A and B are shown apart, each in its own frame.
Chain A
Amino acid sequence: MFISERRKFIFGALVSAGLIAVGTQWGCAPAAPTANGVGGTAARQGKTVELLNVSYDPTRELWTDLNAAFSEQYQKDAGVTVKIKPSHGSSGTQAQSILNGNAADVATLSIWSDTEQLHKGGLLKDGWEDRLPNRSLPYTSTVVMVVRKGNPKGIKEWADLVEKDGVEIVTPNPKTSGNGKLSLLAAWGSVILGGGSEEDATKFITKLYQRVPKLDTGARGATTTFSQKGVGDVHLTMESEAYLEVEEAKGQLEIVYPSISILHEPHVAVVDQVVDKKGTRDVAEAYLKSLYTPAGQEIIAKHHFRPTDPEILAKHKSDFQEIKLFALTEVVKGGWAEAQTKFFADQALFDQIVKPSNKTGK
């Protein structure tokens, strides 16, 4: 009898403890986001402001450094402690998550059309692109090639990818990955700007994707496939990722710069609806502006993204091999909107070339 009484008590105690836990957690969690809601900079002196930066995949290391630098500077200048929380994922997924209510103070996505989605969804005001210097581009990048040590297949140019014998190519799926989209468009542009017709370019990318054994969904997945699983002869990837990958491989991989490639323009934006609601606009704007300062640009260069400040870029000239970089609009007139419908939408060009048996697109 004594034992069962005691057990009963313990069980009851556990249940009530659990219920209390539920109560407090559910009660507190919703309150947290509104806690920073009121007050301008003056009212925040000595307090902590939290910012959420929703970004794309291959920028984790970059933002870790940029965030630390900004927090330190802002503490000095305004006496406010800023804590920046990062969220990373593939660019399209991240845009979706912001649209669904992930309260990002700033969106630093990979592809213009993803940021534009936020504008269409009413989260960004009109003209968002012109609110920060250089069309809201603190840095740019490009697509390069990573090959095995000594470049055994002799890959130097885009044409080599389909002309050299038995080349296996690793690149992520353009439908899900910004990196994948850029790789496809870089290959496409290399043909068009080399004087080829759209038909030639279609043939070229068809052959190219026939040589891709597996399409990973994200950029990091493709990197793992190439560098750690040892699949393929060449990996098409962003310049910044390529440097990381080569450093990580300790001499087993090297970078090849083709003579021409695409200019990657990852725009940054303050998410108007979120910052106005949270009352964090001043901090969020200061945060993005800090990217354009010499200190911010130096950090960007250190992580192998191309600084947009001409002076800092010139200083790091040796790190960024000069190749011909073309803007997307030079090869796809309508920019990202057209690229999306022409290449990546359902049954668009990419679906047709990876499924040659599928006749519905013709």
Chain B
Amino acid sequence: MHTSRAVGHKPGTTGHGSHTEPAWVRWLLISCAIAVISILVIIPVVNVFYQALANGFDTYRHQLLDDAETRHAIWLTLTVVPVAVVLNTIFGVAVAWAVTRFQFPGRTILIAFIDLPFAISPVVVGLMIMLMFGRLGIWGPTLEHWGIKIVFAYPGLVLATTFVTLPFVARELIPVMEALGADEETAAVSLGANGWQMFWRITLPNIRLGLLYGVILCNARAMGEFGAVRVVSGGISGETDTMPLRVEKLFQEYELPESFAVASVLTLLALVTLIAKTLLEHQTQQQLARADDEQAET
């Protein structure tokens, strides 16, 4: 979402309003913000790491790596998430292309439907998948006949994760592609480029930062997905437990230190995502500034 705003405005033109409010109002607002962020975000996050590392790094490592079921949960998350992200990247690019480059009946409805997974509770998403692909679901008998397992297996986990994170890439790309317009692409085609050449040489370089941004957000959300995945996983330890499910299970098994250890890894991944996102925003701004300079010179 930030990218689209950054594309729309030159850096430096937003923010920094004149300080007309009295000092005490400013300080009150600032301290309120800091207090809320500390209580709700910073302290709990630090506490997760504190609890996880309370018994030293060696114990922490053992807690993460000695338990085969925990190892499997980490591995499962690392294999489910990339697939969901790739699927959503392909879908996101395709759908953003469709709605920004073509006018067709139902275009507005399509855009509205992209957002639907944001609005539906993940638990409901899980149930929806169950009602489609479960034994008693619409496709149940067919799938059983062919011996294909969707729910309570890897494909179900991918499906649930993909559904929940569907909007991220598309939502990032639509405003970017709208702002860019089709001029450069039209020029490429008129100079004899075929579809692939146009996509790889013109479109992709133009949208790559927005795309990367969407992928990062999608990835972060996919790793943390709990509700939908929980419904379709069947909770089979060492088979369909992803990291967030493992955290819950360990917690319920009174294995608090182990639970915090896995939770800390998830949090760590979230922090990495945050850093990547910030770096990317920084780069986008610099690039825009450079582009503006070049424009000013010519």
Contact = CB atoms under 8 A, between A and B. Distances in A.
Interface of A: 4, 7-8, 11-12, 15, 18-19, 21-22, 25-26, 29-30, 32-34, 37, 52, 54, 57, 60-61, 85-89, 97, 99-103, 121, 218, 220-221, 224, 244, 248
Interface size class of chain B, counting residues whose CB lies under 8 Å from the partner chain: 35 or more
A85 B86 contact: no
Contacts of B236: 52, 85-87, 102
Nearest to A123: B135
B260 interface: no
Contacts, number: 104
27 contacts: A4-B205, A8-B204, A15-B90, A18-B86, A18-B89, A21-B79, A21-B86, A22-B87, A25-B154, A25-B155, A26-B158, A29-B149, A32-B149, A33-B147, A34-B147, A57-B252, A85-B237, A86-B236, A86-B237, A87-B237, A88-B249, A100-B134, A100-B135, A101-B134, A101-B140, A101-B149, A224-B252
Interface in B179-214: 200-201, 204-205, 208
A121 B134 CA distance: 14
A100 B136 contact: yes
B28 to A, nearest CB: 34
A220 to B, nearest CB: 4
A28 to B, nearest CB: 8
In the complex, which of the residues A34, A97, A99 has the most CB atoms of chain B within 10 Å of its own CB atom? Answer: A97
B152 A101 contact: yes
Contact of A87 (B79, B90, B134, B234): B234
B86 A22 contact: yes
In the complex, which of the residues A34, A61, A102, A220 has the most CB atoms of chain B within 10 Å of its own CB atom? Answer: A102
A100 B82 contact: no
Contacts of A221: 252
Interface string B132-149: 001111001000101111
A101 B130 CA distance: 9
Contact of A30 (B85, B90, B155): B155
B117 interface: no
B151 A89 contact: no
Interface in B231-274: 234-239, 249, 252-254
A15 B235 CA distance: 31
B268 to A, nearest CB: 23
A299 to B, nearest CB: 18
Contacts of B291: none
B97 to A, nearest CB: 15
A101 B253 contact: no
A99 B147 contact: no
B111 interface: no
A232 to B, nearest CB: 18
B83 interface: yes
Contact of B234 (A7, A29, A97): A97
B88 to A, nearest CB: 11
A63 to B, nearest CB: 10
A100 B200 contact: no
Given A18-B82, A25-B158, A30-B149, A101 B135 contact: yes
